Amino acid sequence: MRIVFFGTPPPAVAYLDGLVEDGHEIVAVVTQPDRPAGRGRKLTASPVKVAAEGHGIDVLTPESAADPRFVAEIADREPELGVVVAYGQILRPSLLETPEHGFINVHYSLLPRLRGAAPVYGALLQGLETTGVTIQYMAEQLDAGDIILQREIDIRPEDNRETLTNRLTDAGVELLLEAVRLIEAGEAPRIPQDECKASYVGRVTTDDCRIDWSRQAEEIRNMVRACTPWPGAWCELDGTRVKIHDIEIIQNALTEEGRPGEIVEIPTQGGPIVQTGSNVVEVRKLQPAGKQVMSGAEFLRGARLEVGDRFE
């Protein structure tokens, strides 16, 4: 099929590569404009732009996908189908109606649950045991289009936002290619979503990932998983920001109860043991400001902490 592909971040690259390898003609790739990145704030191309140029595909980077001139340019390329994977802009009806078969979107949840910008974060934050990938037709309302295909994925206890995203991507590429084949054959289903079951997760900010040690240990662990590695769960120690990458709940711990966030034990092996609103937890991986990720044990060897010191 003649496909116009919209995407920006690293996970979207796998979908573009899959479509190319499956023999589809990508008439254009649309991605976000180059943005400043890194300490030098150098203008940097999106991962999808880099991948598209490697395939020799034309790349378009409109500031606004609603620009009539851009919509006209897409129409001139006569795509049969539009595919969207984490593009980063809302697409208007004038664009969605351009290809013969419309636009389809890859979404990392079992719609209608967890619509919005951060479904993987939402699934982990809520402590769900399963989530999935949905291929859906795009509609004007966010993530509300008819469903073509879905696949359920188990959430493993050790999953964080990165590992779960990677496993969803592996499943999603295969599911997208199957959906495109069904559309090309005129056999793709259109399953309406049940609006009564819809839920939403908006964009995640750094403030959303600040640890409140007074919460239940399971809630804190879920939040750490949901925010790792980006934007990063964090707190402060002696006025300096520290990112917490992994914690483990210690059941039936024989430690003296302290205030939330207080270090109640410094073990000879392992990371600091910290009081929460319920159980205590071991901080297994963390990252002090300006340093690399390290184990809790490595951190203790250089931090000179004492029982009674507190993560704020």
Q: How far is CA 68 from CA 32, 71, 79, in A?
A: 17, 5, 17
Predicted confidence at residue 193, as pLDDT, reads 98
Start-to-end C-alpha separation, the chain: 55
Contact residues for 95 (Cβ-Cβ < 8 A; gap 6+): 65, 66, 71, 74, 82, 103
Quick one: which of 310, 219, 241 has its CA closest to 273? 310
Give the pTM. 0.95
- Identify the structural domains of the chain with CATH numbers, from first to last: 2-201 (3.40.50.170), 207-303 (3.10.25.10)
C-alpha to C-alpha distance for 281 and 146, rounded to whole angstroms: 43
pLDDT tens digits, one per residue of 250-288: 976 655 578 999 999 999 889 999 999 988 999 999 999
* Residue ranges, the chain, pLDDT below 50: none
Give the pLDDT score at 2: 98
At residue 38, the pLDDT reads 76
pLDDT digits (tens, 9 = 90+) for 180-209: 999 999 999 999 999 999 999 999 999 999
